[in-house]
Amino acid sequence: MAVPKRKTSKSKRNMRRSHHSLKAEAYVEDKTSGELRRPHHIDLATGMYRGRQILEPKG
C-alpha cells in the first residue's frame, strides 16, 4: 500500500481543494422570449434552441 513520504502542507491541500467550491449557476437571457434559461439548453417556454423549433411549446 502506498504511503505518503511527507505530510501535505496546508497550502498544498488548500490549493488542491480550491476547485471544490460551489459555483453559482449560470443563466442567460433568451433572445426571443427574454426569459432566463441555462446556456446550451432548450427554452422550454418556446421550445426553441439556437433559432430552431425543437419541441412543441408548453400551452
Per-residue pLDDT of the chain (59 residues), as tens digits, is: 899 999 999 999 999 999 999 999 899 998 878 889 999 998 888 888 888 999 998 76
Q: Which domain holds residue 41?
A: 24-59
- Is 8 part of any domain? no
Nearest-angstrom CA–CA distance, 3 and 33: 57
Please state the domain count of the chain: 1
- Cell 501535505: give the residue: 8
- Is 41 part of any domain? yes
- The predicted structure's pLDDT at residue 8: 97
- The predicted structure's pLDDT at residue 59: 63
Strands (E), the chain: 28-29, 36-37, 48-49, 52-53
- Is 36 part of any domain? yes
